[in-house]
Amino acid sequence: MKHGKVVTILVLLIAILAIFATSYAIFSTGGDGGSTYRSIRGETVSIYGKGLYKHMSSEVAIQGIAQDYVTLFIGVPCLLVGLYLGVKGSIRGLFVLAGSLGYFLLTYLFYTAMAMYNELFLVYAALLACSFFAFILTLLSFDFPRLENTYTSRKTIHATGIFLVVNCSLIALLWLGSIIPPLLDGTLYPEGLQHYTTLIVQGFDLGLFLPIGFVSGILAIRRNALGYLFATIYVLFLCLLMSALTAKVLFMARAGYPVIPVIFIMPTILMVALLFSTALLKSLQQSEQTTA
């Protein structure tokens, strides 16, 4: 694996910092309890009032804790397994590592930008930096000219590309469905903006992560070498992301928030992503690529 020592150091730092950050968030209990707050836009917001996320809205704080559980018990193990296999020269391990790093990159980009300022701000910034550089160095470890020949089933990568195009398009339409109507009727602010500065998740999704998934899908359908690389990484990343989103929905349901129809949508996307990820990794089993 190219840059193996540097990537190993970065990944171990990510694992240590993520274990600390998620555990701190899950088990922290200080605070004055729930309250209400009237935002600058006149919206009454229910504030969580306890733990690390005490200044966040109750709805978002609950989701943050749900994601912390997934990051701690699924994300970190996937990251370490991917690192172990990747360092040993396994192409499958390298893909798992890249997909896991993509998840950590997205997660702590959102935490740095969206979470109300708290004592872990510098930890989030460090996790973001380590995830970004480890992800880039992991991408550079792939042998691009040989990528296409590592797959035993081109139909699988083609089908994966179609899935990514459809999935990214539908999620984009979902976000636009909440953003465009207020623009048209003059109310401007979408429901659920609460006391946050802007729609962080929707903004990064529409401007960055959904276009990456869409273009990766198109390249995979066209059997472009970059499509093989990024479509596989993206669908593995999607498994972790959809696990987190499914956990968020379940935590919200337990807290009494309305979760229909997302309680059906997120687990469905998760299951499909898992099926494609399994198929792609199996396709690589008979043509392992030793990384330098």
Asked whether 291 and 142 are in contact (CB, 8 A), the reply is yes
Tell me how far CA of residue 277 lies from CA of 105, 138, 164, 246, in angstroms. Answer: 19, 18, 12, 17
Q: Is 290 helix (H, G, I), strand (E, B) or coil?
A: coil
**pLDDT < 70: residue spans in the chain:** 285-292
Task: Identify the pLDDT of residue 285.
Answer: 61
Q: What is the DSSP letter of 287?
A: S
Report domain extents, the chain.
Answer: 4-285
The secondary structure of 60-72 as a DSSP string is HHHHHHHHHHHII
Q: In sequence order, what DSSP letters do the residues of 181-199 get, joined into one string?
A: HHHHHT--SPTT-TTSSS-
- pTM for the whole thing? 0.95
What is the pLDDT, as a whole number, of residue 31?
82
Chain length of the chain: 292
Q: Report the C-alpha gap between 158 and 153 in whole angstroms.
A: 9
Q: How many CB atoms lie within 10 A of CB 190?
A: 16
pLDDT in tens, 138-147: 999 998 878 8
